[in-house]
Chain A
Amino acid sequence: MVVPPIPDLVDPASQARARRFTSSTSELERLEMELLLLAIYRHHGFDFRAYAPASLHRRIRRHLENARLSTISGLIELILHDPSALQRLLHDLSVNVTAMFRDPSFFLEFRTTVVPLLRTYPTVRIWHAGCSTGEEVYAMSILLEEEGLSERCRIYATDMDSTVLDQARQGIFPLSRMKEYTGNYFLGGGKRSLSDYFTAKYDGALFAPRLAKNVLFTQHNLAMDRSFSEFNVIVCRNVLIYFDRSLKDHALGLFSESLGTLGVLCLGRKESLRFTAFEQDFSALSARERIFRRNK
């Protein structure tokens, strides 16, 4: 085991860094953040150290408020000695905000640009990376069914968090959001009525189990696990925004490795391959909707 050198606590660079802020609270908080993320990693195995710091810091601050703690150091003590506190923190640190047919114009573009490509394949393998509670997977499954492709498609839907995958498998989403989703569905080129696909029960909308028939929900951590198959399409929208540049590059490397020749990569509407190591490896099928195709 290689032990990294311990940085000199009073080295000139760190003194200069400290001078940069009139208030030294930021420096101290950065140190506490580093220690917290190290504690989570060493104690639990989840590695948040290469997450985008700004939004991660915000989630930690919000967690401190909810837990009525005044410092990150206090939180470190708590999670090292109280397993339930660690679980609550992990839950607050992962972002599980998702929607059906978010950015309808993406789904419309997928129908017109990607579906014709998929028709030329006898079987299609799709990887939904970072699927959270599964809304977007069901949206894709509906789209494929309407395009007559569901029989030949298999979707691998992954997330690092097993509890959200349990929810995704159930296919029950809040009834209160169906109005919004119905609007998105139409704008995204929906051919029927969204209500054809679910049954309302209490405050939930239970989606038809056939939509999940060709879906395999399984745990996979983009930061730690390897490529596990070869795919024709990888959908990973608004997931890499939570990673820092190095981890984003790592995940893109994984995607590049997992895509077959001319495989399609779908990112979120404000995510790009610019500023990454993989810019040259992909060409845009739709620059506006961030749909790319692997060269060669």
Chain B
Amino acid sequence: MTRFETPEGVKARYDVVVVGTSTGGLHALTRLLGALPATYRLPILIVQHRSKDSDERLSGLLRGASQLPVSEAEDKEPLRGPGVYLGPPDYHLLLELESMALSTEEPVAYSRPSIDVLFESAAYSHGSAVIGVLLTGANQDGTRGLQEIKQRGGYVIVQDPTSAESGFMPKNAMKNVVADRVLDLEQIATELVVRASDARVA
């Protein structure tokens, strides 16, 4: 079942960024993605809580705000290189070793897509090569997923609750996980750029 290639020599420390957000997420994502350069090399997978009937306006707005290509993830779409991939409405978004996967399993805490589902799958498939970012929101989704990322050696960034439109979700995460960084949105963008150039320790 293990299919990934053996890395030889110096490789980047991180493979992928996963981002979760709920209430206030559109504004936060617009600012975060807007602050990332067009050359940003890590793929970014995003779960923003959305209703099952939501249309593609969200991806349209993010496309307008970001210099990176933005699309809604397709099932089994290979994870090749840079870009922003958004969890589509009414599906969970999961990360496999080399591609993205979707699922119609039950909503988790009333949410489909669920942040925990994305984060846990990323932690399982990519271990310590994951950067998990939890932004504004008014529920508990994401905490469990960040725990999993942390436990498997990944890097955890939480939005500073005082800078968040809704601080409950980041606060809840901070109560239960030791975050590597607690930052505001502009600082998160800078941190993502810096971490993307970290080298993997053999």
Q: Assess A21 versus B120: contact at CB under 8 Å? Given A52-B101, A53-B1, A271-B74.
A: no
Partner-contacting stretch, out of B23-31, B58-66, B91-99: B91-99
Smallest distance from the beta carbon of A13 to chain B beta carbons, Å? 6
- Taken together as a complex, chains A and B put the C-alpha atoms of A57 and B129 apart, in Å, by 19
Number of A-B pairs whose CB atoms are under 8 Å? 107
Smallest distance from the beta carbon of B83 to chain A beta carbons, Å? 16
Interface size of A by CB at 8 A reads 40
From B73, B78, B117, A58 is in contact (CB under 8 Å) with B117
A241–B75 touching, CB < 8 Å: yes
Smallest distance from the beta carbon of B148 to chain A beta carbons, Å? 10
Within 8 A of A (CB), among B182-198: none
A57–B127 touching, CB < 8 Å: no
Contacts of B4 in A (CB 8 A): 17, 20
Q: Assess A34 versus B1: contact at CB under 8 Å? Given A22-B128, A241-B75.
A: yes
- Taken together as a complex, chains A and B put the C-alpha atoms of A88 and B103 apart, in Å, by 21
A270 on the interface (CB 8 Å rule)?
A: yes
Interface size of B by CB at 8 A reads 40
A54–B74 touching, CB < 8 Å: no
Q: Assess A30 versus B151: contact at CB under 8 Å? Given A58-B94, A97-B105.
A: no
B2–A270 touching, CB < 8 Å: no
From B101, B127, B152, B153, A241 is in contact (CB under 8 Å) with B101
A97–B124 touching, CB < 8 Å: no
B102 on the interface (CB 8 Å rule)?
A: yes
- Chain A residues in the interface with B (C-beta under 8 A): 13, 16-17, 19-23, 25-27, 29-30, 33-34, 52-55, 57-59, 61, 95, 97, 102-103, 238, 240-242, 245, 248, 268-272, 274-275
- Inter-chain pairs besides A55-B103, A58-B103, 16 sampled, C-beta below 8 Å: A17-B2, A22-B128, A23-B152, A25-B152, A26-B124, A30-B1, A54-B94, A54-B95, A97-B106, A103-B90, A241-B75, A241-B101, A248-B76, A271-B74, A271-B75, A271-B102
Q: Which 10 A-B pairs have the closest CB atoms?
A: A21-B127, A22-B153, A54-B94, A16-B6, A54-B121, A22-B128, A55-B103, A241-B75, A238-B104, A23-B153
